[in-house]
Amino acid sequence: MAFQCRARKVNCFIMAFPTQRLRRLRATPTLRRMVRETILTPDDLIAPLFVENGRIVLEPISALPGQYRFSPDTAAEEASTLWHLGVPAVILFGIPDAKDATGCSAYDDNGPVPATIARIKDISPETCVIADVCACEYTDHGHCGILHETPTGVDVHNDKTLEVLQKAAVCYARAGADIIAPSDMMDGRVAAIRQALDAAGFSHIPILSYAAKFAGAFYGPFREAAGSTPSFGDRRSYQMDIGNRREALREMELDVEEGADALMVKPALFCLDILREARERFDLPLCAYNVSSEYAMIKAAGANGWIDEERLVDETLLSIKRAGADLIITYHAKEWAQRQ
């Protein structure tokens, strides 16, 4: 048997010597540069910023080395620095002074997000400011909406939560946000937010929908940063099951029908297959969220000297773009842009 295989191989070598040698175009750095199909630029990146009220706050986040909680003034300086490094956009997450059961501080005009939007617009007016819209940072129970009793236990009430999201979206648009990005995973939120924005005179403000957002352990470091870990249960009755691909496409299809201007897949590295499929199916801009645990894993391994951190980051971001993302939300944005 072994003899037979070897014989066939030799035969093949003589009879059908490869006319295609893909290594020809890999021979030199110049050739490789010329035929590279995917190029990452700072234009592709969106930097997440955590903001709280106060002044000159720059508080390190332990599970996200290199990331900070900012106050509106320091966040605006950071956005301006990013702008000068070529990173055009930031996405804001608010940490309010007070939380309650309904998350009403999400639409407080004096909250950290509206204040930060205004400060950024003062000193870096061309920065694209994306406002994440969700209740979880603002509720005392850490869930992404208003709770109610159901026959099987306590759950998030979908339609009551839509009202909170509508108010938050309008509040951020009024403060000057350029894009509204709902991350709560309630059904019908894109249509509800679109309607509220239009009614308030913001029909020109786009919605970037976290359309396919999965439930899992991927968001741990973020929740530490934002203090948004649910005090009981988990998010599996509203975020998607990690095993589901077709359902992710249905989520995206519905959000397109409801009027989303751009779609997001989250988490990015765990969902490259979904991103690729979304790229083939939809012509809207596609965004991928390179989430907090994906960042923390690279940072931890890098700090231990187990990996070449810079190359890993380059390869991570390029892989996400190759899979189909036009835009990448990533905690690596600033460091990556600084290295270019």
Point out the catalytic residue in the list 266, 299, 321, 334. 266
Placement of tokens 């070598």 in the chain: 13
Say how many residues make up the chain: 340
Token pair, residue 62, equals: 């332990």
| The token pair that represents 5 in the structure block | 């295989």
Residue with Cβ nearer ligand PBG (126 or 140)? 140
Q: Which is nearer to ligand PBG, 39 or 217 (CB)?
A: 217
- Nearest CA to 295 out of 324, 330, 328 is that of 330
Q: How far is CA 202 from CA 172, 232, 291, in A?
A: 11, 36, 29
Q: Min. distance of Cβ 210 from ligand PBG in angstroms?
A: 7
Kindly tell me which of 223 and 279 has the beta carbon lying closer to ligand PBG.
223
For the bound state, the minimum distance from the C-beta of residue 128 to ligand PBG, rounded and expressed in Å, comes to 18
Q: Could you give phi then psi for residue 48, rounded to 5 degrees? A: -80, 140
If the CB atoms of residues 181 and 323 are measured against ligand PBG, the closer one turns out to be: 181
Q: Quote the least distance from Cβ 292 to ligand PBG, whole Å.
A: 3
Identity of the residue, 56 or 217, whose beta carbon is nearer to ligand PBG in the bound complex: 217
Q: How far is the CB of 333 from ligand PBG (least distance, A)?
A: 12
Smallest separation, CB 322 to ligand PBG (Å): 21
Q: How far is the CB of 106 from ligand PBG (least distance, A)?
A: 11
131 vs 125: CA distance, rounded Å = 15
Is the Cβ of residue 202 or residue 219 nearer to ligand PBG in the bound state? Answer: 219
Q: Is 99 a catalytic residue?
A: no
Contact 71, 51 (CB under 8 A): yes
> What is the rounded distance in angstroms from the CA atom of residue 240 to the CA atom of residue 235?
9
Q: Is 266 a catalytic residue?
A: yes
> What torsion, rounded to 10 degrees, do the Cα atoms 55, 59, 64, 65 define?
120
Q: Which residues bind ligand PBG (CB under 6 A)?
A: 132, 134, 136, 144, 183, 218-219, 222-223, 228, 291-292
Note whether 203 and 230 are within 8 A (CB): no
Q: Where are the beta strands (DSSP E) in 109-241?
A: 128-133, 147-150, 153-156, 179-182, 208-213
d(CA 213, CA 224): 19
As measured in angstroms, the least distance from the Cβ of 80 to ligand PBG is 23
Per-residue burial over 200-219, b = 16 or more CB atoms within 10 Å of its CB, e = otherwise: bebeebbbbbbbbbbbbebb
Nearest to residue 99, comparing CAs of 135, 136, 138? 138
Between 4 and 140, name the residue whose CB sits nearer to ligand PBG.
Answer: 140
- Among all residues, which ones are annotated catalytic? 213, 266
